[in-house]
Structure 1
Amino acid sequence: MKLALGPLQYYWPRDTVFDFYQAMAEAPLDIVYLGETVCSRRHELRQDDWLDIARMLQDAGKQAVLSTQVLLESTAEVAQMHKLARNGSFLVEAGDMGAVHNLTGRQPFVAGAQLNLFNAESVAWMAELGACRWVAPVEMCREDLAALLQQRPAGLQVEVFAYGRLPLAFSSRCFTARHYNRPKDDCGFACLEHPDGQLLATREAEAFLVLNGTQTQSARVHSLLGEIPQLQALGVDVLRLSPQSSGMQQVIAAFDAARRSGQAAPATSLRPFMPEAPCNGYWHGRPGLELVVLAAA
């Protein structure tokens, strides 16, 4: 089972991003996804910068994958997606069907989680179009994934989102800009002030959601560290860990140790390195914010 670092979902300063990926080059990761998937106004890094990072990671023995933006709203964003899809050097993760269309017949690609492929027919269709790896939707439970994998097309890898705040929805509106009472096109790049997103609490002061520009995330941190044996038994090929501003190396080390030993570790063991409490409800067919603790074997 391989470990992948998902694309950076937050907006960090340029030097912070370069330092982060320099550290990730030394981490026990097999795959690293790169690129801006949330908002095209985040200009700290350009495409050439992402390509430089991809080459650095490739030299360090990682598979670098370029991820396309999930929600495209302008001709400039579409043109950027076309350019990324035709980079000619690195595998691409398709974040929307426009990217799938551009990659079909040209090169293999990764079918991203936001394509919402929930059944065997749609997964088989995506494989016919050229997908070599499919990222399961974050809401998919273990039973549904197990049933789908019995009909998995030959040669298609499956990747599961195993750690991080869940990317729940994307919108044409920018919630972070709205919080500061700014228009979306003159936001002042407020996302830079929230390196792990902006927490939204209920009236009862309970952490509920995280605002991350045009993206809405879960407040709690999804973790399948305790389900490693289940994931291995199902034949999952890749586990995706989502970047966070601190504690990432400890998180990667914990998942690496668990995949090598095949032993479960409690999700709560990572709590000191999480921005909020853990959850894993979706995997167990429960509300996503719940935490199901498995009995020790």
Structure 2
Amino acid sequence: MNAIPSKLSLGPVLFFWSRDDILRFYAEAADWPLNTIYLGEVVCGRRQQMRGQDWIALAADLAATGREVVLSCQALIESESDIKRVRKLVDNGELAIEANDLGAASLAREKRLPFVAGPHLNIYNADTLAVMEMLGAYRWLPPVEMSRDTLAGVLAEAHRQQLSMETEVFAWGRLPLALSSRCFTARHYNLNKDDCQFRCLEHPDGLTLSTRDRQGFLAINGTQTLSDGCQTLLPHLRDMHEIGVRRVRISPQSQGTDAVVRAFAQLLRQPEPIDTLLPTLARQAPGELVDGYWRGQAGIRPLEKQHAHS
């Protein structure tokens, strides 16, 4: 039987949820079959229902369950207050961080704190991986648009350079595509960014942006643009293992994350025909199941037909 990645991660919540919802979500996640939990605000510095010390305290509680816990840092640093929030996480003194900005990687190096090189660092080759490893990274995530073949080439070269970083792939969720200094949700409501009234709270999985033909195209999430479709790489787990991927990431959503985690964990624990699990996943997806980027095609391309029926 072909091997598949053996470790399962829960990525940071990309959307703006209330403090109560965040705490409730992670209280439930503490019982899920996960190896690693990432948590922290990645998208917008105005989302402060959970402040830096709150994330650190929550991380300590989750780490007490025996899992690896990583503090994820903001991806677009725009102000001194943003830098202070990153410093707060780096200064936790114990837990690793996920660096989504080179500034966070630099701060981690100063403190000799191990870090995960997040997908927003846009690492496209083994030479850049070597730099990240030199700075202290022990794991990395390829950009979400990287294809299987490109990743295979990067990992083959990394092996030749004797790099030791673990590779984690974004395997489930709306794809985080871009960040902007503009707030798209505020603009949708004809509000200024500095007076957004925190309207993102009304859209716990993002706000769908459709074409004129009413086809879901993108999702807006404050300053972030995501895919409307839901990346689903469950059918490609064996292929991932063959090229050197050992860990897969599930991105949280407001409903059904537990079912997604358990479906992936079931397959990682005991490989079985993929089609027995896909109907469950399709019911939980916030949008159409897609895997185009992995296959070297447009990211919006739906999951291949032999896997997509439900």
Structure 2 unaligned spans of 5+:
1-5
- Which of 102, 110, 113 pairs up with 1:107? 113
Distance (whole Å) between structure 2 residues aligned to residue 55 and residue 84 of structure 1: 12
Partner secondary structure for residue 293 of structure 2 = helix
Partner in structure 2 of residue 293 of structure 1:
304
1:48 aligns with 2:57: no
Alignment of 1:94-173 (within 5 A): 94-105=99-110, 106-152=112-158, 153-173=162-182
Supply the RMSD in Å over aligned alpha carbons.
1.4
- Alignment check: 8 A CA contact 1:226 1:294 kept: no
Partner in structure 2 of residue 33 of structure 1:
38
Alpha-carbon shift at residue 120 of structure 1 (Å): 1.1
Q: How many matched pairs?
A: 296
1:93 aligns with 2:93: no
Partner secondary structure for residue 89 of structure 2 = helix
Q: Deviations over 1:68-120 (max 9, x none)?
A: 10001111111211221221021001010111111125122110111100011
Alpha-carbon shift at residue 151 of structure 1 (Å): 2.4
For structure 1, which segment, 209-218 or 84-93, has the greater mean C-alpha deviation from structure 2 after superposition?
Answer: 84-93
1:236 aligns with 2:245: yes
Distance (whole Å) between structure 1 residues aligned to residue 213 and residue 306 of structure 2: 31
Partner secondary structure for residue 160 of structure 1 = strand
- Alignment check: 8 A CA contact 2:11 2:252 kept: yes
Partner secondary structure for residue 17 of structure 2 = coil
For structure 1, which segment, 41-50 or 200-209, has the greater mean C-alpha deviation from structure 2 after superposition?
Answer: 41-50
Alpha-carbon shift at residue 285 of structure 1 (Å): 0.3
- Alignment check: 8 A CA contact 1:104 1:130 kept: yes
Partner in structure 2 of residue 200 of structure 1:
209
- Alignment check: 8 A CA contact 2:52 2:88 kept: no
Distance (whole Å) between structure 2 residues aligned to residue 240 and residue 80 of structure 1: 24
- Which of 230, 240, 258 pairs up with 1:249? 258
1:7 aligns with 2:12: yes
Distance (whole Å) between structure 1 residues aligned to residue 217 and residue 93 of structure 2: 41
Give 4+ residue runs of structure 1 displaced > 3 Å after superposition.
none
Partner secondary structure for residue 14 of structure 2 = coil
Alpha-carbon shift at residue 294 of structure 1 (Å): 7.5
Partner in structure 2 of residue 282 of structure 1:
293
Q: TM-score, normalised by structure 1?
A: 0.96
Q: TM-score, normalised by structure 2?
A: 0.92
Alpha-carbon shift at residue 261 of structure 1 (Å): 2.2
Q: Deviations over 1:22-67 (max 9, x none)?
A: 1000000110111001001111111121112111211112111001
- Alignment check: 8 A CA contact 1:9 1:37 kept: yes
- Alignment check: 8 A CA contact 1:165 1:217 kept: yes
- Alignment check: 8 A CA contact 1:158 1:237 kept: yes
Distance (whole Å) between structure 1 residues aligned to residue 48 and residue 221 of structure 2: 15
